[in-house]
Structure 1
Amino acid sequence: MRIAIISHLKYPIREPFAGGLEMHTHLLARALRGRGHDVTVFASARSDVSLGLEAVCDATALAEVGTAEAQDVAFFKEHHAYLTLMKNLRHRPFDVVHNNSLHYLPVSMAETLPMPMVTTLHTPPFCWLESGVRLCTAASHSFAAVSRSVADLWDHVARTDQIILNGIDLDGFAFSPEPDPTPYLVWYGRIVPEKGLHFAIEAARMIGLPLHIAGPVLDQAYFEARIKPHLGRNAVHVGHLDHGALARLVGGARAFLCTPMWDEPYGLVVAESLACGVPVAAFARGAIPEILDETCGVLAVPDDVRSLAQAAQAALSLKREDCRRRAEQTCDARRMIDSYEALYLRRIAANDAAEEAAVAPLLHA
């Protein structure tokens, strides 16, 4: 198949990944190309060229919280980049377009394309994307949700055609049968308020184990006020790691603390931890209860640091082999790619049938 993947434009699609969506897009494109498909990724400049990259603009994320004028510039840069892309796609020979962005324009303009589109819903509804989804009337369009939780949140806006749980490269997060001899807990992800790192630091302190922290600082004010004062021997920020170093860090931990302060749509970090054989203690939010079961994780009351500490203490007794087994059952990228390939083929067949039905009366006139 000739597949176009529309990425979001805030960060480059390359290692080290700014977050889970960048990693997911990279994995999706790489796996599809590995299966022999002709894949083109439309993303921001400095993304990985091995994905079949066509850069549509510079990355639009602001390193610092900018002025209203700077934010307006980023908004219009994305708007015009997607508008130009959607116009150009009308004349490109793709069999299917996979909209993996979080922008309103690709989905709202799906009906202008001659080929079908699949849009993956990665987040709960927010005003801009919801407005685009409500405008989507293309019969050849499908919505896929990354979890049952996300599908339920979108149900009042649009029907989800299929739930396709995100997947990870299990080989990229190899099983670690034994943790590091020096015990530690791990937390990793984007360092922003909604990821709740401050809860993990306090919970680790309560149970007396050091916390190793990895990830980019994307909210400097939050980092300076809530995180930096607590860093030291018992809470160490090791920086923004590449894939290999991150897998080694996670694999050496006794448990992973997952502390979202919102309804996490999926939780790739949970899947990665399980793949390494590392038990999870997590706030019971969003899709996380769909990934974890009693063999591999312990759920905590959201925003309750004492409950998180108790969950982490309980998670330390879980078996690493069971964690890996759970990842193999529910988080394998091969299952995810199988599902997307099947969805693409169904959409292409339905689109072809609709075109044939439209032409048939003309042929018999």
Structure 2
Amino acid sequence: MKIAHVSPLFESVPPKLYGGTERVVSYLVEELVRQGHEVTLFASGDSLTSARLVPMCRKSLRLSDCVDDMPHHVYMIEKVAQLAAGFDVVHFHTGILHFPLARRLSAPHVTTMHGRLDLANLKSLATEFSDLPLASISDSQRLPWLFMNWAGTVYHGLPLDLLPFSERHQGYLAFLGRISPEKRVDRAIAMAVAAGVPLKIAAKIDKKDAEYFETHIKHLFDHPLVEYVGEIGESEKGAFLGGAMALLFPIDWPEPFGLTMIESLACGTPVIAYDHGSVPEVLRQGHTAFIVDSVEAGAKAIGQVESLPRRQCRQEFERRFSVRTMAKRYVKIYETLISDWEPRSRQLPNGSRSTWQKSSRLANSTMS
């Protein structure tokens, strides 16, 4: 199968440091190549891949201090359109940017929505483009857009050998991700301090969150139980998560998936998380995690986390969140898209609707 993947240009594929979407794209692309598919990746020029790379800018935009990403992304979408006829299917990871062009694409296509969909200003756009085939990364993510043409839910997956299992922890708690209002590192600090357990924080601070950090978070790092280790790369993540007695994930937003949760499980490290978004889909209460609703409950869970076997967490990861499982489910979506595809010339004599003929079996399928 000839498959095109279209990645955001903010980070390389895979990212040098933090970057969820581009990391998942990398895992999926490499697994599809391993399975024998002919894969083309549209991404930044500093990406590393065994697929055929079509570089859309010299360097990932975040690391090049790009002032305006839009020209780069518009250029990429146009190049994808020009080459689309050469692929069996085109898989977009670029949010809503390509929606107007997707209707006119000369190949079957699907878009994985990686972000939140509950924002009010998205409703009119979603209604207009409700015919486009989409994939969700959790069932909870799609709740604001139930009327869309969902091709299925496919959970993120990781290579089984990416992060080593750690039988024993080193007595600290971990927070991994971004310093931002919705990630609530302040809650993580409050939980750790209440439990009297050291907390290590590995997180990036985006420019847009710099003021939030300076105003609300920076002073919290002065506590003797808190250690800020900065932003870490993929090579450091295994030791960081594997050494933790638990990952703290006290989010305050409808998390579409939460890649950090399955990275933690891969290391054998249970999770203490707030009950938002995909959390109850990804984690199993009392099996791989404690799902809580307050700082007090989180602090209590820290005292009970030793009751969650680390081997059990690793087994749950292997069973549900491998990259092989993720790729298999996407290939099933591709096959359905291709079998249901009808050329634009037969479908749209007036040029008024999508190149996609909405299929009831596709819209009703779920792969969670």
Class of the TM-score when normalised by the shorter of the 2 chains: 0.7 to 0.9
Which residue of the partner structure matches residue 163 of structure 1? 153
Aligned-partner Cα distance in 1 for 2:130–2:215: 46
What is the deviation of 1:111? 2.2
Aligned-partner Cα distance in 1 for 2:287–2:73: 45
Query: Of the candidates 74, 82, 88, which is equivalent to residue 82 of structure 2?
Result: 88
Q: Which string of whole-angstrom CA distances, capped at 9 and with x for unpartnered residues, describes residues 303-335 of structure 1?
A: x32222223333232111111122122212211
Which residue of the partner structure matches residue 123 of structure 1? 115
Q: Secondary structure at the match of 1:316?
A: helix
In structure 1, the gaps of 5 or more residues are: 360-365
Aligned-partner Cα distance in 2 for 1:40–1:325: 33
- Alpha carbons 1:282, 1:311 under 8 Å: kept: no
Which residue of the partner structure matches residue 334 of structure 1? 324
- Alpha carbons 2:30, 2:49 under 8 Å: kept: no
What is the deviation of 1:275? 1.2
Query: Percent identity at matched positions?
Result: 32
Classify 1:47/1:356 alpha carbon distance in 2 versus 1 (closer, same or farther; 3 Å): closer
- Alpha carbons 1:124, 1:154 under 8 Å: kept: no
| Within-5 A mapping of 1:1-365 | 1-48=1-48, 50-57=50-57, 59-61=60-62, 73-74=68-69, 76-78=70-72, 80-90=74-84, 92-102=85-95, 104-125=96-117, 126=119, 133-136=126-129, 142-156=133-147, 158-180=148-170, 183-218=171-206, 219-232=209-222, 233-293=224-284, 294-301=286-293, 304-351=294-341, 354-355=342-343, 358=346
Equivalent pairs, count: 341
Aligned-partner Cα distance in 1 for 2:271–2:130: 41
Q: Which string of whole-angstrom CA distances, capped at 9 and with x for unpartnered residues, describes residues 123-160 of structure 1?
A: 2224676555444376xx5211111101222214x131
What is the deviation of 1:49? 5.0
Larger deviation, residues 341-350 vs 200-209:
341-350
In structure 2, the gaps of 5 or more residues are: 348-368
Structure whose residues are more often helix by fraction: 1
- Alpha carbons 1:82, 1:106 under 8 Å: kept: no
Residue type matched to 1:123 in 2?
G
Which residue of the partner structure matches residue 359 of structure 2? none
Aligned-partner Cα distance in 2 for 1:209–1:137: 48
* Higher relative contact order, chain-length normalized (CA < 8 Å, sep 6+): 2
Q: Secondary structure at the match of 1:282?
A: strand
Q: Which string of whole-angstrom CA distances, capped at 9 and with x for unpartnered residues, describes residues 237-260 of structure 1?
A: 222222121111100111110021
Classify 1:267/1:160 alpha carbon distance in 2 versus 1 (closer, same or farther; 3 Å): same
Q: Which string of whole-angstrom CA distances, capped at 9 and with x for unpartnered residues, describes residues 23-72 of structure 1?
A: 111111111122222212212343335443222246455999x9xxx5xx
- Alpha carbons 2:32, 2:39 under 8 Å: kept: yes
Aligned-partner Cα distance in 1 for 2:269–2:61: 35
What is the deviation of 1:80? 2.7
Aligned-partner Cα distance in 2 for 1:227–1:170: 35
Classify 1:9/1:133 alpha carbon distance in 2 versus 1 (closer, same or farther; 3 Å): farther
- Alpha carbons 2:135, 2:153 under 8 Å: kept: yes
- When the two chains are superposed, the root-mean-square deviation of aligned CA atoms in Å is 2.6
Aligned-partner Cα distance in 2 for 1:312–1:344: 43
Aligned-partner Cα distance in 1 for 2:48–2:215: 34
Q: Secondary structure at the match of 1:161?
A: strand
Classify 1:214/1:51 alpha carbon distance in 2 versus 1 (closer, same or farther; 3 Å): farther
TM-score by length of structure 2 reads 0.84
TM-score by length of structure 1 reads 0.85
Aligned-partner Cα distance in 2 for 1:208–1:105: 46
